[in-house]
Each structure stands twice: as C-alpha cells, then as structure tokens.
Structure 1
C-alpha cells in the first residue's frame, strides 16, 4: 500500500496537540487575525486516491479548499492570500512529503501515520527555520 493510500479517510485536527503553530504561521507571513482563527478553528482534512490522482480536501469554518495532484509532478498552487508556490508531492521514508518553492520562503510539509494519528510536520525554510507539528485523529 502506498503512503497516500494509508492516509485515505477524514481526519480532524487536534488543536490541543499542535506545537509551535503560531510561530510557523508568522514565519510564512500570515496576518495576525488569520493566525488566531487558524489556531482555534476546527479543521477536517480528507484524503482520497483515485488511480494516480490524490486529492486533499481541507474543511474549515472560514474557508475550505482542495488540491488534486499526481506524485512527483510539480504544479502551481495558489494559497490563501494569493501566494503562488511550485508544489511537488513525493513519498519518502513512509511519509507523504509536500515541497513548496516560492516567495518569501520555501516550505516543506511531511505527513505520516504514527500509531492511530496522522502527524503533519511543516517547516518554513526562513532564517532561522521554523517548524510546527499538528496531530489529527480519524473521524
């Protein structure tokens, strides 16, 4: 089974187990009012795999969005706030790894199953680098 297939299903972010999220969001340039909402929002993430297409749906009270991609194929991804990154997803060492190349910083996000939780580690390659961990439980 591929890493992406192991993520299939719906997951709810456990805000009580987030680590360093505020510092990460500041590092990527998110506005203060958006940071507060992001930290407190109840967010669900759903993963689907259909053939070689993988889709991630993110459902949040403020804004929901989705992204569909093929592993190892770069694409342009527009994030909230209009920032555009060249994004590539790969599978590495049991993790789904997302690399975003753009301005002002490049970012990496690895997603993996640890026990019965989905663990997402995000790193902003600023100076110094800033990382955050978010844990999710299956719905």
Structure 2
C-alpha cells in the first residue's frame, strides 16, 4: 500500500466532518470530478458515493463504498473507477495536540491497476495522495 501522512491544523472531529460530508468528496479527492448522489447513511458501512472521475467530456460514472468507519478516527472505502479497476483506501485520524495526523493508505485491489508491479503503482499513488491530503487539510482548516 502507498502511504502518506499529513499534520492537519484541525481536530479529528473537524477532519471527520469533511470526510462525513459526501458532497465534498470531489473537492479533496484527486481524480473525482463531480458528485451525482450521496447515500443518506454516508459514511456508515455499505453507504455509497455516486461520483464521476475524469475530465469532461471523458467522464466515467462510478461509486465509492464504505467498508469500515469509526467516526473521528477511521474510514476505509473501496473506490471504483472502471475500466481502471478498484482500490481500497484507508484514512486514519489521530489527535496530535490540537492538530490531527492524517494517514492515507491506498492500493489497487482489482482490475488492470493490480497488474502493475507494486513499486510502479506506489509512485503515482503517493504523488496523488500528497495532493489529496493537501486538499483535505485546506477544507478542514478553513471550515466553520
């Protein structure tokens, strides 16, 4: 799994509030371009975000499903972006004084992405998730 960490100048609950608002997903997830629907029980296990990936006019409609959730602490999802495949993403939040250490781990689990050797898969995932955590921090640190 590719692993990135960032210290966010917000509490775990403030970071969680961003993760728990499914409509914000394309603002912080690199590659997600728009939301079509958010299940009412997001981010409970089994809930889905219905999103699109890519750039207009080449958009692919797909979903992300919650596999595990511990409010204020952990969110594990399966993100789909076919025909590219599926990835599991784990976000962990841990208080560090008045701030939060956010760890994101991601790896391909099915599809063509899984055929790429792990060292080659990890490089673009790491780059992408540096920006993903940057965006998540910007939102969490500026939310009222």
Report which structure shows greater RCO (CA 8 Å, sep ≥6).
Answer: 2
Between Structure 1 and Structure 2, the one with more strand by share is: 1
| TM-score of the aligned structures, taking structure 1 as reference length | 0.46
Q: TM-score, normalised by structure 2?
A: 0.45
